[in-house]
Chains A and B, each alone.
Chain A
Amino acid sequence: MLYLQNFAKSYSGHRVLEIPRLEFSPGVYWIKGENGSGKSTLFKSLAGMHPCQGSIRFADGISLHEHPVAFRRHVNYAEAEPVYPGFLTARDLLHFVGKAKKSPPQQREALTNRFGINTYAENSCETYSSGMLKKVSLALAFLGTPRLIILDEPLITLDESARKILFELIKRYITEYNAIILLSSHQLLEDSSLTINQTLIIQHKTLQPV
């Protein structure tokens, strides 16, 4: 379980998002919202990339602000449009992030093969297409033993087979690790074979059930 209480995010003193109270249990949550509504802001705040206010904690008490390292170990995030330094290879990234997330080499290798990254893992990121970059970012999001996986627009630029792999992985991580999946997508998820726990929408600077 993940608990949000009095969550607030401001930019230059201007409040852009406020969530008084919200709970997430293992499963998939579809976060909707218009462009600019604050989906990525929410995701980046929950992932610990952007500072925010309020309490964000797991059921065992591990909290974003009180246990920044432990919390980050259990939260993985894949950006909508991932960009990595051009000289790094997928192998470098998987090794570095994998080590930080305490992911065993077998898991890294399995994810690399699953997404078909192994064919280009030794090439520099600057040579990748947007779809290839997306696969790398998704593979990174499944490293370790995440309790919360945040996927910002995971379907864009992704081919059909990679989508199937992604949905399979999501289902497996929910069953194996009791993972909470927060997912934003402008594409329809109804026909994705995923069971959606709840659909939420960011409207009027807050997140609420549809």
Chain B
Amino acid sequence: MNTPVTIASKVFIRTFYLENASFFLLVLGVAGGFMRDVEHIALAEFFVRKPYLVLIPFAFWILYGFKILSFNTACLEKPQNQFFYQLVFFSRGIRFMISGLIILTQFMPAILYGFFLMATAVKHTVYDSFFVVIGSLIVPVLALVIQFMRLIHNPDQGKKTSLLIRKMNRTIIRPYPLFAIEWLSRKKTLMLLGTKAFGVLMLLAVAKLYTTGEYDFRLMGMALTVISGASAQLMFEIHRFDNHHFALVRQLPITCWKRISSLLVSILFLILPEAGIFITYYPADLSSPEMIQGIVFFVTILFFWYALLYRKNMDQEAFMKIVFWESMLIFVLILFRVPVWGIACVAFLAAVFRMSTYYYRFEYGTTTYRD
């Protein structure tokens, strides 16, 4: 019994918390950084005031449950973890206990908050809410345990392409610039949504900053620099797609200009939400050429981040450090009235130079010798 528990904790629990460390840090930062103790208590009191209000944290727990489910499914699909299917040879009781232990530990942050809500409900003698909180915790945990046991019991369920998708595949051939975007939306959904949400909110906030006074375009330029800095992680993933997940493209006879133009089209698709907000909420004081400048600047800086990755192999941390310092430099340049189009031109030329010089010399990530 000890061995499967140890293995389960290493494969599912430790990995889950390690892989989602930044997510938990973000949640802790938001909870601990922006809210004081009294505000936490006030919020909990609000949630338990009426039983139906418990549905608000319950909705978050369901979302968190989906996160756990998708992690466990992906984890079990990895070839190195498929030995875990051997769990099926244990008795139903042991399987249930191990699955329960995994899910309970993964769900622990929600459970702890649930206890806090229960304590608040008891304190205010709102027993209806107390029982609704218990139910709201039991339901997702039990559903996740059952689903986990189902996954263990039915390995290799076989993926199928639905009739509708097959019909679409027959009529539509995916254009190459959309490959990376589709990959991002499927594999890095949270990152993509988070970055887009950040970009859109940032642009909305900056566009509404000066509704009365004369608007300074530099402010827009600086906002776009910050958003492009945040979007650099998406460019890192696109670069990873082009050179690792779809490395076949390196073998194809495609000219450098075609590779660059395909990438620029991909970037244009990628920035559609931000571009939409930028155009819709563009300050009336500013001119149309400045608006075009802004979009060109945004696209160019993203291209610049992508091309940066061909200079040498670097991990995301090292890359983001460079992005941070170069963003700061661009920020200062804009502040000192260096025209945005000038920065865009220099960034574009530097990116083209990098791509044309280093593309064929670049080798993705392999530092060890493999057959």
List residues of chain A with CB under 8 Å of any chain B CB: 11-12, 14, 16, 33, 35-41, 47-51, 65, 68-73, 75, 77, 83-89, 91-92, 95-97, 100-101, 122-124, 126-127, 140
Contact = CB atoms under 8 A, between A and B. Distances in A.
Nearest to B360: A68
Nearest to B255: A69
Given A84-B246, A85-B246, A47 B251 contact: yes
Given A91-B169, A97-B252, A40 B370 contact: yes
A88 B252 contact: no
B253 interface: yes
Contacts of A71: 253
Interface of B: 158-161, 165-166, 169-170, 173-174, 176, 179, 182-183, 186, 241, 245-248, 250-255, 360-363, 366-371
B358 to A, nearest CB: 10
B21 to A, nearest CB: 26
Contact of A127 (B159, B186, B254): B159
Contacts of B254: 69, 100
Contact of A11 (B255, B362, B368): B368
Contacts of A124: 159, 161, 165, 169
Chain A: interface secondary structure? mixed
Contacts of B173: 91-92, 95
Contact of B248 (A12, A70, A84, A126): A84
Contact of B161 (A47, A69, A122, A140): A122
Contacts of A88: 174, 179
Given A35-B371, A40-B370, A122-B166, A51 B176 contact: no
A87 B300 CA distance: 28
Contacts of A51: 360-363
A135 to B, nearest CB: 16
B258 to A, nearest CB: 9
Chain B: interface secondary structure? loop
A38 B169 contact: no
Contacts of B253: 69-73, 100-101
B260 to A, nearest CB: 14
Nearest to B368: A11
Given A87-B183, A92-B174, A36 B371 contact: yes
B236 to A, nearest CB: 17
- The 5 A-B residue pairs with the shortest CB-CB distance in the complex, in nearest-first order: A73-B253, A72-B253, A123-B161, A100-B252, A122-B169
Contacts of B245: 83, 85
Contacts of A75: 251
A48 B161 CA distance: 34
7 contacts: A36-B369, A41-B371, A51-B362, A85-B183, A87-B186, A122-B161, A127-B159
A77 B251 contact: yes
B248 A48 contact: no
B248 to A, nearest CB: 7
B19 to A, nearest CB: 20
Contacts of B251: 47-49, 72, 75, 77
B23 to A, nearest CB: 24
B122 to A, nearest CB: 49
B114 to A, nearest CB: 36
Contacts of B174: 88, 92
A14 to B, nearest CB: 7
